[in-house]
Structure 1
Amino acid sequence: MKQRKNILIVDNNCELEQLVKEPLLKQLENSGVAPVVIRAKDGAEAAIKSENQKFDMVLIDTEVPRLMDGGFVYGIHTYKNTQDADLIVISQKDASDLPESLRSSRFFKKPVSPAELISAMITVLNAEHHGTAAREPATAAAAHKYAVDVRVINAVIKATTHVLGQFGCPNVKMEKAGPKSPNDPFLGEVSSVVEIRSQAFQGHLCISFDKGSFLEVVSTMLMEEQTELTQDNQDAVGEINNIIFGNAKAEISSYGVQMTVPKVILGAGQSIPCSQGAAGMMIPFATSKGKFYITVVALPMAKVA
């Protein structure tokens, strides 16, 4: 009986899929592997497809749209459906210019030799089938069995932009996401943290506002112009983030994820100590008067009771 292997190809113009699909199926026809090739046209669609299906291999063309400005690439080794996938990257850039999460992949500089690419894919798939594939983690975190569900991050992003829009920040712009050391200080001055946990994940989420973005939101909330951080207006961050996480909770709970009550942390340079092997990702946002940051930190599942 053949072993099914799901392959996600992130390719906006079908060229990569057309290049490898037919030769791959033909050369593996008499093997014990049955490859199933699925294409995503950009990074956003790749994130959606990986929410619902586990992939054994991900083949990425780094020039596709909406790939480097979202969470898919930066969290690929911690999402539950791609954390164990072998990663093959094709790019016009040098490997050293890629995000850290892609640097330990099997890398091909364009123009790529179709024969070499297909040979690499077949080698990996056959080796996995016989139990001999060796994976090198792209980050220290990949050595541990845990996963960040991209749906949780998306739910928090959606709730944050919705709530801040109601509080007078309609032009919130998401900037380029990237990896973050879990022990680095928060970049904002007023932060709120919730612990989150599921069968496949434990860690925390943080929303951290800098002075400008926080005063922008709290001025609308208190219906009075706020020009400085004070004890009185800092207390409002708890209420703001209670509303944000409350908006996200129903969706997050439907994925089997539990979350605690938000904890407010005041002051710049604050951090939460994390155990060795933790991994983090940060998504910055810009408002008309400042920035705020959503950070997700994953802890090794060995710590789960």
Structure 2
Amino acid sequence: MKLRKNILIVDNNCELEQIVKGPLLKELKDSELSPIVVRAKDGAEAAIKSENQKFDVVLIDTEVPRLMDGGFVYGLLSYKNTQDADLIVVSNRDLTELPDSLKNSKHFKKPVSPQELISAMIDVLNAQHHGATNKEPAATQAAAVKYAVDVRVINAVIKATMSVLGQFGVTSVKMEKAGPKSPHDPLLGEVSSIVDIKSAAFQGFLAVSFDKGSYLEVVSTMLMEEQTELTPDNQDAVGEINNIIFGNAKSEMSNFGVQLTVPKVLIGANQVIACEKGSAGMLIPFSTSRGKFYITVAAFPVAKAA
């Protein structure tokens, strides 16, 4: 009986799948391995596919949409279905320019030789089969990047935020490039709402923070009256806004065992949230027609999670 090996290819134009799938199946036809190739067209679809299936190899084209500016690539080493996978990356960028979660991958600079790529995949699969892989253990890799945030948490909060602001009539929202951020640094923005998050393998906090311009834009549409300054009266609205955002996100996150506390409002710039040593964070910035707001996700060391 052949040993099944699941391979996720993140590739929006099918080029990598066309290069790899046929020759790989042919090369391994008479071996003890049976490769199953699954393709995702972007980072968001890769995150969804990884929720339901464990992968032994993840092959990534870093230029695909919603990959480098979303949660999937930053959660690879902590996400249960990819944390033990061997990573192979095809990119226009040098290895030093890639996120830490990709730094231990087999890296190919474009244009990539099809034969070299196929040979690398066969070497990885054979090494896994014979227990001779040179890949560092997942725990070692995780230590190198500290602790990654759960991609499902990020996606749920982004989805809820965009939906709620759209309901309030803020239609000019654009998500900008996400990236790692030290959770020990002050929060960006002047008005923030924080919730603690917890699951069996994840513990940390979420913050939605608005700068003055974006907050006044949201509050003006919410109160149906133009607001030009932050006042004690309109500052209370951040709690209501973020209660709705976190409430919407909670309905999705509860499906995979994540719990949220009641939001806490923080008024004023440069707010610092106490975090344990070794915590990691991610910042997702957004722009509106009048300013910016930010989603900050922090993950405390997984070993300390309850």
**Structure 2: how far apart are the matches of 1:219 and 1:137?**
51
Report if aligned partners of 1:140, 1:277 keep a CA contact under 8 Å in 2.
Answer: no
Worse-superposed segment, 205-214 or 39-48:
39-48
Write out per-residue CA displacement over residues 14-61 of structure 1, whole angstroms, 9 at most, x where no aligned residue. 221222223323333454433211112223322222222222211112
Q: Identify the residue that residue 57 of structure 2 maps to in structure 1.
A: 57
TM-score of the superposed pair, with normalisation by structure 2 = 0.88
Partner of 1:22: 22
Letter in 2 for 1:14: C
Distance 1:37 1:271, change over 3 A: same
Question: Cα gap change, 1:168/1:139 in structure 2, threshold over 3 Å: closer, same or farther?
Answer: farther
How big is each residue's C-alpha offset from its partner over 1:83-136, in whole Å with a ceiling of 9 and x where there is no partner? 322211112332233344333321111222223222222222222233333434
1:294 aligns with 2:295: yes
Which is further off, 274-283 or 189-198?
274-283
Contact 1:80-1:146 within 8 A present in 2 as well: no
**Residue of structure 1 in register with 2:254 after alignment:** 253
| Distance verdict in 2 for CA 1:170–1:111, change over 3 Å | closer
Relative to structure 1, is the Cα distance of residues 161 and 122 closer, same or farther in structure 2, using a 3 angstrom cutoff? same
**Number of equivalenced pairs:** 305
- Given residue 111 of structure 2, which amino acid in structure 1 is its aligned partner? P
Contact 1:284–1:294, Cα closer than 8 Å, also in 2: yes
Amino acid of the structure 1 residue aligned with 2:265: V
Question: What does residue 155 of structure 2 align with?
Answer: 154
Closer, same or farther: CA 131–203 of 1 in aligned 2, 3 Å: farther
The residue that corresponds to 1:226 in the other structure is 227
Counterpart code for 2:97: D
Task: Write the deviation string for residues 251-273 of structure 1: whole angstroms up to 9, x where unpaired.
Answer: 22122211111111222111223
Name the residue aligned to 1:236: 237
Q: Which residue of 2 aligns with 1:213?
A: 214
SS in 2 for 1:185: coil
Aligned mates of 2:196, 2:160 — CA distance in 1: 17
Contact 2:205 2:298 in 1 (8 A): yes
**Which residue number corresponds to residue 106 of structure 2?**
106
Q: 1:290 to 1:115 in 2, by over 3 A?
A: same
Identify the range of structure 1 (83-92 vs 289-298) with the bigger mean alpha-carbon deviation.
83-92
Between stretches 22-31 and 193-202, larger displacement belongs to 22-31
C-alpha distance in 2 between matches for 1:220 and 1:138? 47
The DSSP-based 3-state class of the residue aligned with 1:275 is coil
**Structure 2 residue aligned with 1:193:** 194
Structure 1 pair 139–205 and aligned structure 2 pair: CA distance change class (3 A): farther
Amino acid at match of 1:164: L
Which piece of structure 1 moves more, 183-192 or 9-18? 9-18
Identify unmatched segments of 5+ residues in structure 1. Answer: none
Check whether the contact 1:80–1:147 (CA below 8 A) recurs between aligned residues. Answer: no
Q: Secondary structure at the match of 1:302?
A: helix
1:268-303 CA-to-partner distances (Å, cap 9, x unmatched) read 111223223322222111111111111212222211
Letter in 2 for 1:171: S
CA contact (8 A) 2:148 2:280 kept: no
**SS in structure 2 of the partner of residue 194 of structure 1:** strand
Counterpart of 1:53, as a letter, is Q
Task: Tell me, in whole angstroms, the C-alpha distance in 2 between the residues paired with 1:262 and 1:67.
Answer: 29
CA contact (8 A) 1:203 1:296 kept: yes
TM-score (normalised: structure 1)? 0.89
3-state SS of 2:256 partner: coil
Across the aligned residues of Structure 1 and Structure 2, the Cα RMSD in angstroms comes to 2.6
Query: What SS does the aligned partner of 1:39 have?
Result: strand
Q: Percent identity?
A: 76
Question: Which sits farther off after the overlay, 126-135 or 280-289?
Answer: 126-135
- Structure 2 Cα separation of the partners of residues 301 and 123 of structure 1: 31
Give the whole-Å Cα distance in 2 for the aligned partners of 1:38 and 1:286: 34
